[in-house]
Amino acid sequence: MRPEGRVLDLGCGTGFNQQFLSNGQTYVGIDPLLLKGANQYGFPFLLGMAEYLPFRENSFDSAVCIATLDHVGDPAMVISESLRILRPGGVLGIMNKGEIEGGRVARYGVYLRLGLRKLRYGNIAGLKRGLLEVVTGAEDDFHMHHFDRDSLSTLCASGFQHIDTQMVGNTLFLRAIKPGMSDRRR
């Protein structure tokens, strides 16, 4: 999505995603967990929830929500708060686990690729979790919400426009624009 300007990372964790910015953007993070000691973040960090953003209207150029929307209590509130704090023309980018498209055969193909990758990187816990999911059909128990392209687009459609989605393996990407005059990236 190439976030620009002032970027808010919703559910920033340790700020891992800051490393992917390269054009002098200002990075600000918010998360309800203090995962490092106070003052160790090295970027403006706020302890808080993405459902209640402590920022003024139109105060960010971009917002990203990476591997987080399925953990929050109320995804719709996160979307409407993102809309409020973004400037007109500002961009929201979401990355999340998504429902694999194309039926059972496609699903097993993706699981097989993911399983082999986990094996290659020695992620045995992840491999076990994935196998359990495939064999029992059970949802994992640490994601509170599950999205596919339609449900995530619908969530963002109340306010955002130019909504694009893409599935890569089992990962769902969405990019959406806040309506306004000054959208520089369309």
Q: Dihedrals φ, ψ of 116, to 5°?
A: -65, -35
Residue 45 to residue 16: CA distance in whole angstroms: 13
Nearer of residues 71 and 185 to ligand SAM, judged by Cβ: 71
Q: Taking CB under 6 A as the rule, does residue 75 contact ligand SAM?
A: no
Closest separation in Å from C-beta 158 to ligand SAM: 19
Nearer of residues 133 and 180 to ligand SAM, judged by Cβ: 133
Four-residue CA torsion sign, 156, 88, 168, 27: negative
The residue type found at 14 is T
One of 72, 79, 152, 156 touching ligand SAM (CB under 6 A)? 72
What is each CA distance from 71 to 47, 113, 132, 143, 180, in whole angstroms?
Answer: 16, 25, 20, 5, 30
Stretch that binds ligand SAM, among 8-16, 79-87, 104-112, 131-139 (CB under 6 A): 8-16
In the complex, which residues of this chain contact ligand SAM (CB under 6 A)? 10-13, 16-17, 31-33, 49-51, 66-68, 71-73
